[in-house]
Amino acid sequence: MNNPAPHIGVQYPKHISEGSISVFLSEIDHSGLSLAQDETEGNESYAGLEWLMPTAVMVFIAKPYFDSFLKEAGKDHYHILKNAIGKLAKESLVN
């Protein structure tokens, strides 16, 4: 059976504790939402301008189409995601 593509991907450096990531993932987990996680070796930046430009063009073109849909869907998950990111940031600053 094929696994569906993840809806949210979380990539984090190795120095962040597994407990912090587990708490973060459990807080944003929602039924029907597929999460993927990946631990990296260092603090490298992976994005560059050549990665940003195609994404920016597609967002600009697709924005009117998805705007109302994403507003409604985002209202449901925004507060949960905001609180989880805040807790993760505080935890990673302490460690």
Q: What is the pLDDT of residue 62?
A: 80
* Confidence (pLDDT) at 66: 75
pLDDT at 42: 67
Q: What is the pLDDT of residue 65?
A: 74
- From its phi and psi, is residue 87 left (phi > 0), alpha (psi between -120 and 50) or beta? alpha
Listed as ranges, residues in the chain with pLDDT below 70 are 1-4, 42-51, 95
Backbone φ, ψ for residue 42 (5° rounding) = -135, -160
Task: Give the pLDDT of residue 46.
Answer: 60
The pair of three-digit structure tokens given for residue 50, joined into one six-digit string: 């050549």
Residue 57 neighbours by CB under 8 Å, 6+ apart: none
